[in-house]
Structure 1
Amino acid sequence: MRSCRKYPLALAALLAAVSSARADVYKFTDRSSGHVYYTDRPSHSGYRLLIKTFSGVTVTYRELEKNRRLYAPVIDAVASKYGLDPALLHAVIRAESGYNSRAVSPKGAVGLMQLMPDTASRYGVSDRHDPNANIEGGARYLRDLIGMFGANLKLVVAAYNAGENAVIRHGNQIPPYPETQEYVSRVLGQYYR
């Protein structure tokens, strides 16, 4: 794929294609010209990962919307149970798995909320592939992160991605990891939509 310049429609098409194709998306901003480039094949180290696709099962936009509707009642009920905004759970799930309950990340995170083994164990989730249990465990983790970081959703979301200790270690700031910084932008972009 060739790099796309600063064209919103091209970016939208590229992002839509990502859900049905296995291609990470990288972004580069040329500071001298102000142009922004997107590609799945970065040509130099100045590109930053914008969207990481999963190595497991891919999800088309149609499947994403079908699964969103399928899991919405569970997400809403679990959000209510733990005093969370359902929109936050939806934003995290969309960013983590694209509503794909079979998603498995290269790092070993599994399911809708991409629970790592230690997180699943901490919240009593014995089957990370079970969508209901996965949502429940992820929601409990989010609730605990809100307890730690208060209303600062940037830190809550950063901690969900990088771990609460990474946020604490960096002085209660978003860790300087490109993946985490992009993740926070993506989740909050979905949340505030």
Structure 2
Amino acid sequence: MTRGVAIVWFAVLGAVVLRIPCATADIYRYEDDEGVVHFTDAPTDKRFKVFMRDLKKDRRLRTTFKLAGCARNPEEFEPIIDQCALEYGVEKSLVKAVIHAESGYNPNALSRKGASGLMQLMPQTARDLKVSNSFDPRENIRGGVRYLRFLLDTFKGDVTMALAAYNAGLSRVAQYGGVPPYQETRTYVDKVLSYRKSYQTN
């Protein structure tokens, strides 16, 4: 990289740094084969890596863990979660975090896309998992935990990738070779990981 180009990019970097307190998204960067550094808040290429986190978003995620906002008392489903987590070897705090993020512990939750129940199983996914009634807490949690186990095995234990696939689908993760560049998916993964940490400490 020439001195002139380097100065330009340092200037750009300085502008990015100065804007961080007001940022509304994570900042990503990658350096191409010619040594040019690229920055964006909406990556479309898997070569982009997180450069700076959106501090406001991180703060929101850390403070949104409120069990009082759940539709039902989470303890009501504790025995089912314990049993299914043990059966499929999935961390209990992760199961609870997914349920919290997906439905807020509402067994009757139904999304606009047709996902239903505590772990928001799509109709085809429910059929594949032999779940006949997605609104039945026991069936739904068992199916959801079984699916999580499958995703964790598929991604060799990588929780972030498994959650991205749970939200966006396996095909999208395969298409982008990682977490898809969808704000919804990225926010979902961050939220579940934040909830997971809260359940671990509580």
Q: TM-score, normalised by structure 1?
A: 0.69
**Larger proportion of helix:** 2
Which of the residues 170, 177, 187 maps onto 2:176? 170
Q: Offset at 1:66? A: 4.7
Identical-residue share of aligned pairs (%): 44
Which of the residues 90, 94, 103 maps onto 2:100? 94
Residue matched to 2:191: 186
Matches within 5 A, 1:55-134: 61-62=67-68, 64=70, 66-134=72-140
Runs of 4+ off more than 3 Å: 60-63
Residue matched to 1:148: 154
Q: Offset at 1:67? A: 2.4
Letter in 2 for 1:182: T
Q: Offset at 1:36? A: 5.7
Is 2:71–2:106's contact at 8 Å kept on the other side of the alignment? no
Is 1:67–1:100's contact at 8 Å kept on the other side of the alignment? no
Q: Take 1:63 and 1:71, find their aligned partners in 2: how far apart are those partners?
A: 16
Q: Offset at 1:164? A: 1.2
Is 1:125–1:134's contact at 8 Å kept on the other side of the alignment? yes
The count of aligned residue pairs is 146
**RMSD between superposed Cα atoms in Å:** 2.6
Letter in 1 for 2:86: S
Residue matched to 1:5: none
Per-residue Cα deviation, 1:58-108 (whole angstroms, up to 9, x for no partner): xx9547285201001111110000011111100000000001001111111
Residue matched to 2:61: none
Matches within 5 A, 1:44-55: none
Residue matched to 2:164: 158
Q: Offset at 1:35? A: 2.7
The unaligned stretches of length 5 or more in structure 2 are: 1-17, 25-40, 42-56, 58-65
Change over 3 Å in CA distance of 1:65–1:86 after alignment to 2: farther
Structure whose CA Rg is larger: 2
Q: Take 1:66 and 1:109, find their aligned partners in 2: how far apart are those partners?
A: 19
Q: Take 2:79 and 2:186, find their aligned partners in 1: how far apart are those partners?
A: 30
Are residues 1:139 and 2:145 paired? yes
